[in-house]
Amino acid sequence: MIKKENRTNVDLITRYTDQPAKMPDQTREKIEKHWNNSPIQLYAIADLDAMMQLTLQWVALGEKTLAIVSVDDQGCESIRNIHLAMIESLVESPGLSNTTLTLLGAPGDPPLAVIRYTQRQRRAMENIKFLIEHRIEGHDIDQAEEPDELYSKAVTSSIRKAQASVAVNKLAVVWRLVAYLKPYKGRLAFGMGSMVLLTLVSLLPAYLTGYLIDNIIRPFQTGSLTYSSAMHTAWFIIGALVLTYLVRVFSMWIRLRSMSVLGELVAMDLRRNLYEHMQGLSLNFFSSKQTGSLISRVSSDSDRLWEFIAFGVVEVIWALIMLVGLGTVLISMDWQLGLILTLPIPLFIWSFFVHGSQMQRMFLRAWRKWSAVTEVLSDTIPGIRVVKAFNQENREKKRFNDRNVSVVDEFNGIHAVWTKFWPLIIAAVHILTVLVWVFALPRVLDNGSALTIGTFVSFLLYMGMYLQPIETIGMMARMLNRATSSAHRIFEVLDTKPEIIDQKEPIKLEPVQGRVTFENVTFAYDGIRQIIKDISFDIKPGEMIGFIGPSGAGKTTLTNLIVRFYNASSGRILIDGVDIRNLDTGHFRHQVGMVLQDPHLFHGTILENIRYSKPDANINDVVEAAQVANAHDFICKMAHGYDTIIGERGQTLSGGERQRISIARAILPNPRILILDEATSSVDSETEIKIQQALDRLIKGRTVFAIAHRLSTLRKATRLLVIEDGRVTEQGTHDELINKSEGTFRKLYQMQQQLHDSYVV
Amino acid sequence: MLITQKKVDTVKETVNGLSTDETLKVERRLDGQLWAGRNGDATAVQVTRCFPWSQPDRFISLRDDDEKEVALISQLSDLDKESRLSVEGALIEAGFVMQIEKVLSINEDFEIRHWKVLTRQGDRSFQTKLDDWPIKLPGGGFLFRDVSGDLFFIDDVENLDEETQKHLWAYIG
């Protein structure tokens, strides 16, 4: 079965690239036949030939062979197989917009293959390179995903990253948005009904004016109606006009109120759904999206949808009803004059559309120039000290002025176009008016004609009404684009499925004892590059474990797996002997405390921040937690004590103070497992001692996992695990590892000691 | 003047790290790699232009597998003919960008701009972010970077056909 994500990636390749969405079945069969039916594990496209021309070449990797399939202009394929055993090394040479991968055999021999590709293919080719390199090193990798999936995912990764959402049928997006109106059917009907009423009523005054002229004023002037009869009917007409205006004002009020409230309600529902859904999504989702992009979906996109629902939809429907209504009234009043006015309508709509497109293009150019102006501002204002220090004020003034003039030129160009367009439209309307007069007047003056002066006046009044709906319809495409784009950005988040899902009847460990077992755990964020490679260990309750190793070795990933921020790609993680995937994740995480290198504190009081981990904690527990965390003293020294409001992200506190509050927060629920990820690495020595004292108090009676750069801080660890390249390469107590000659830990420890001796007086 | 003198020394020192321009030998060997060195003490290297757009023929950095600079060639003419040809050959690959000859269409989609172009290297579709604009290069011409990081170069817009110029009007100039 094809997964939805893969289907989307295939769609993206088809829509946006010139390359195949997957390897053709015949090619695949042909390669596998060459390999005695051994399956293709990964494939990619090498899209540059030796002459650096774009081409199509498939590169497929199997268990023992790499195949390079060249496709000539006639579509004929030639396959070249290279046994992986012959490859001794790979050399990757990155260029400006390309990479050359050279497969080398024995030293001095000609290369086994030279594969060239553009940046678009880089990720898929890197997957292949990664697997080959691991095989050269003698490691094998379990590959969970299908080669088609990995290929399409790799090729589209940059598009998916740049494009928050996947382009689909815009109308489908609108219908999906319309579904959000369902709970508010009554309000919607009320608003739409008022809008229809408003539109129809708007047509009445012109009609009444014509009626007044033809049936009252003219008969009175010709003497066929007496003054009293004329006035009697006139009062009715005036009454009807007043009533029309009243109904119009009332329905306008109802329409505006109903639809703006409706828009707010729908936007609120979308925001709520979006935020609630985001809370359930896995960390993978958040690491793949920019924070600003996610925030704008909740704020500005939902706001834009409110505007669309409250005004956009209504205006378009109003414009359509108005045009149909006007056309019907005009043709029914006098079909000849009616046609003069209605036939040019498509031409008007087209001219608005063309003008809109032209303006969009001009605005695009102007916005580009405008961004050059803001670029200078964002460069120089934060860097004003540098500007002044190098005495470059005049240069910056010139840079700004040049761009400022350039942007004004563009906007003047825009003004030149639209200021011409509107008079031209008005001129066209005037021409129509003249035409109406030319055709109408002889018929009005001709006594035998059916065209009355009242009908003629009504026509003139209707003419003033039909320009606005035409303009609205002309702008519809742009409005629809903006709204569907916003709706789609929201729906994309709503359609993302959480990766961590609890089973139907999850197990609750009450309480967690703290035994943590890794059984052959492997993990890759992207399905290919394994960060954790076949790791096994068994930690007993109450042990303190130190993870040591270079940056990028996989230490933090291990702790992320312990709290199930991610699921292991293969192998099992057991908590007190129970597979972590069978646990109630929320309940389990409640019994785990985490202290991170950069503690995130929320806007609010210190009390609220400490209580964040246990909102119902009593005040004694809060103070006790703060005391244990060595935070109580500095908190009480503040004028507002625990009620001190800390700024956004706790920036009014020093790093060490924030860290101690985060420790108090972590220990308040009395967690059975404590994770300390570089908890003391970003603070000064004095603060570190205080934090270390606090941590020493905390570790008693809990299973603790600590990651620390300063190895001396892990002296109290029961065991140390040295992690290198995703594997446990050494383990033992501090003393055992120190005494291990040629050991990594020993080397690291000695290096730190030397650094300490050299720089600390 | 002290600063200028020091700068010159630094460059010279780097050049002297393995070999000077005069004695540096660069060759493409049978294994397909570029080797640089002196007196047979050679290292496999990759070439990088320090000023790819403003001074493409000057300051070519030769780097080993660990990306450590082995030599800095201040100008290609300092090398002997064979070495120069080898470096020039390597620079063709290292400096590869697709050169746009015709723009067929530019369309806006959700958050990206979709381009269909004919390049000197073949037909290509690519995407840029809506707020990514072409870069005006110091040596002339414009450079577009697509979402994958691929680069598309336009040398002189005025030499392109009218339709292409019309397409590019909003993005260039």
Q: Which amino acid is at A535?
A: I
pLDDT in tens, A94-138: 899 999 999 999 888 999 999 999 999 998 998 899 889 888 877
- What's the pLDDT score for residue A299? 74
Using 50, 70 and 90 to split pLDDT, how confident is the model at B21? very low
pLDDT tier, B36 (very low <50, low <70, confident <90, very high otherwise): very high
Considering only CB atoms, B94 lies closest to which of A54, A96, A371, namely A96
3-state secondary structure of A113: strand
Q: What is the pLDDT of residue B122?
A: 94
What is the pLDDT confidence band of residue A4, given thresholds at 50, 70 and 90? low
Among the ranges A673-687, A737-751, B156-170, which has the highest mean pLDDT value? Answer: B156-170
pLDDT at A249: 92
Q: Contact at 8 Å (CB) between A677 and A596?
A: yes
Whether B59 is in a domain gets the answer yes
Residue at A506 is within a domain: no
Q: Tens digits of per-residue pLDDT, A647-668?
A: 755 557 888 888 889 989 988 9
Residues B102 and B153 in one domain: yes
B75 shares its domain with B103:
no
**Closest CB from B97, B121, B146 relative to A53:** B121
Do A177 and A282 lie in one domain? The reply is yes
Cα A24 to Cα A638: distance, rounded to the nearest angstrom: 69
**Residue A329: both structure tokens together:** 């009234």
Name the residue among A569, A562, A533 with its Cα closest to residue A545: A562
Say yes or no: B58 and B102 in one domain.
no
Share of chain A above pLDDT 70, in %: 93
Give the DSSP letter of residue A38: P
Residue for token pair 């989307």 = A8
pLDDT(A590) > 90: no
- The encoded tokens of residue B62 equal 């030769």
Listed in sequence order, the residues at least 6 apart from B48 whose beta carbon sits closer than 8 Å to its beta carbon are B60, B61, B62, B63, B94
Verify that A529 and A553 share a domain, yes or no. Answer: yes
Tell me, yes or no, whether A309 lies in a domain. Answer: yes
Of the residues A162, A178, A203, which one is the last residue of a structural domain? A162
Strand partners, A60: A43, A67
Can you tell me the distance from the alpha carbon of B63 to that of B60, in angstroms, rounded to the nearest whole number? 10
Q: Is A242 exposed, middle or buried (0-12, 13-18, 19+ CB in 10 A)?
A: exposed
Helices marked H in A344-392 — which ranges? 345-380, 384-389
Residue A228 domain flag: yes
Percent residues over pLDDT 90 in chain A: 20
* Residue B158 contacts A, CB cutoff 8 Å: no
Question: DSSP assignment of B105-161, as one string?
Answer: EEEE-SSEEEEEEEETTEEEEEEEETT--PEEPTTSSEEEE-TTS-EEEES-GGGS-
A175 pLDDT above the threshold of 50 = yes
Backbone angles phi and psi of B37, in degrees to 5: 170, -170
pLDDT at residue B2 greater than cutoff 60: no
We report the CATH number of the domain holding residue A131 as 2.30.29.30
**Percent helix, strand and coil across chain A, each to the nearest 5:** 60, 15, 25
HSE-CB for A676 with a 13 A CA cutoff: 31
How many Å apart are CA A490 and CA A336, to the nearest integer? 50
Top residue of B46, B99, B106, B147 to mutate, by most chain A CBs within 10 Å, is B147
Residue A699 has pLDDT above 80, yes or no: no
Is the predicted pLDDT of residue B8 greater than 50, yes or no? no
Domain assignment of residue B173, yes or no: no
Asked, for residue B85, whether it belongs to a domain, the answer is no
Tell me the pLDDT tens digit for each residue of A507-536: 888 888 889 999 888 888 876 677 888 889
For residue B171, the model assigns a pLDDT of 92
Contact A421, A358 (CB under 8 A): no
State whether A174 and A264 are in the same domain. Answer: yes
- Whether B92 is covered by a domain: the verdict is no
Q: Using CA coordinates, name the residue in chain B closest to A94.
A: B94
For residue B138, the model assigns a pLDDT of 85
State mean pLDDT over A86-93.
91
Say yes or no: A193 and A95 in one domain. Answer: no
Q: Let me know whether A310 and A365 are in one domain.
A: no
Residue A202 has pLDDT above 50, yes or no: yes
Report chain A's mean pLDDT, rounded to a whole number: 84
Distance between CA A125 and CA A42 in Å, rounded? 9
Q: Which amino acid is it at A387?
A: V
pLDDT at residue B10 in the model: 35
Q: Which amino acid is it at A156? A: T
Give CA–CA dist A311/A291, Å, rounded: 29
pLDDT tens profile A331-356: 888 888 888 888 888 898 888 888 88
What pLDDT score does B3 carry? 33
pLDDT band at B9 (very low <50, low <70, confident <90, very high): very low
Please say which residue of A128, A162, A196 terminates a domain.
A162
Do B108 and B164 fall within a single domain? Answer: yes
pLDDT exceeds cutoff 70 at A170: no
User: Which region among A182-186, A653-657, B5-9, B139-143 has the lowest average model confidence (pLDDT)?
Assistant: B5-9
The DSSP annotation for A681-706 comes to TTS-HHHHHHHHHHHHHHSTTSEEEE
Verify that A587 and A726 share a domain, yes or no: yes
Residues A380-399: pLDDT tens digits? 888 888 889 888 999 999 99
Q: Is residue B86 part of a domain?
A: no
Q: What is the pLDDT of residue B46?
A: 92
Per-range mean pLDDT, top range of A676-685, A717-726, B110-119, B158-167: B158-167
Q: How many domains does chain B have?
A: 2
Check residues A145 and A117 and name the one with the higher pLDDT: A117
pTM over 0.90: no
Q: Which of B31, B92, B149 sits opposite A111 (nearest CB)?
A: B31
Same domain, B104 and B162: yes
Q: Which residue range forms the structural domain that includes residue A258?
A: 170-334+451-495
Residues B11 and B68 in one domain: yes
Residue B70 has φ and ψ, to the nearest 5°, of -90, -40
A554: its two tokens: 């996989």
Residue B52 inside a domain? The answer is yes
**8-47 in chain B: CB under 8 A from chain A:** 29-33, 44, 46
> Is residue A345 one of the residues assigned to a domain?
no
Instruction: Name the range with the highest mean pLDDT among A24-33, A290-299, A421-430, B103-112.
Output: A24-33
A308 in the same domain as A229: yes
Domain boundary residue among B47, B80, B113? B80
Is B20 in the same domain as B58? yes
In a domain, B87, yes or no: no
CA-CA-CA-CA dihedral for A146, A147, A150, A155, to nearest 10: -150
CB neighbour list of residue A688: distance below 8 Å, 6 or more residues apart: A656, A680, A710, A713
Angstrom distance (rounded) from CA B62 to CA B20: 12
Residues A620 and A562 in one domain: no
Per-residue model confidence as pLDDT tens digits over A591-636: 888 888 778 888 888 999 999 888 899 999 999 999 888 889 889 9
Instruction: Grade residue A315 by pLDDT with cuts at 50, 70 and 90.
Output: confident
Q: Which of A192-206, A664-678, A720-734, B9-23 has the lowest mean pLDDT?
A: B9-23
Q: How confident is the model at residue A290 (pLDDT cuts 50, 70, 90)?
A: low
pLDDT at B164: 95
Q: How many CB pairs under 8 A join A and B?
A: 125
Report how many domains make up chain A: 5
Instruction: Pick the more confident residue, A308 or A676.
Output: A676
Confidence of residue B63 (pLDDT cuts 50, 70, 90): very high
Is position A339 within any domain? no
Q: What is the DSSP string of A391-421?
A: T-HHHHHHHHHHHHHHHHHHHHHHHHHHHHH
Assess whether B114 and B64 both reside in one domain. no
Q: What is the structure's pLDDT at A163?
A: 63
Any domain includes A501: no
Select from A642, A670, A698 the last residue of a domain. Answer: A670
Please indicate, yes or no, whether residues A64 and A180 belong to a single structural domain of this protein. no
pLDDT digits (tens, 9 = 90+) for A712-739: 777 778 899 999 888 888 888 888 888 8
Whether residue A616 is found in the same domain as residue A676: no
Average pLDDT over residues B28-39: 88
* Whether B124 and B74 share a structural domain: no
Report whether A474 contacts A357 (CB < 8 A).
Answer: no
The answer, yes or no, to whether residue B12 has pLDDT greater than 60, is no
Clarify whether residues B48 and B106 are in a common domain: no
Residue-averaged pLDDT of chain B: 84
Q: How far B152 CA lies from chain A's nearest CA (Å)?
A: 8
Whether B118 and B158 map to the same domain: the answer is yes
* Alpha carbons A591 and A575: distance in angstroms, whole number: 12
In terms of CA atoms, which chain A residue is nearest residue B125?
Answer: A17
3-class state of residue A622 by DSSP: helix
**Does B111 sit within 8 Å of A52, measured CB to CB?**
no
The answer to whether residue A446 is domain-embedded is no
Q: In B, which residues are within 8 Å of A96 by CB distance?
A: 52, 94-97, 151
Q: Which two tokens stand for residue B61?
A: 């950095």
pLDDT at B6: 32
Nearest alpha-carbon partner for A87 in A69, A64, A116 = A64
Domain that holds residue B36: 2-80
Residue A299 is part of a domain; what is its CATH number? 1.20.1560.10
Calculate the alpha carbon distances from A147 to A40, A161, A179, A197, B108 in Å.
7, 21, 37, 60, 31
Identify the pLDDT of residue B99.
96
Same domain, B74 and B122: no
Per-residue pLDDT, A111? 93
Residue A218 domain-assigned?
yes
| B89 inside domain | no
The DSSP annotation for A202-266 comes to: HHHHHHHHHHHIIIIIHHHHHTSS-HHHHHHHHHHHHHHHHHHHHHHHHHHHHHHHHHHHHHHHH
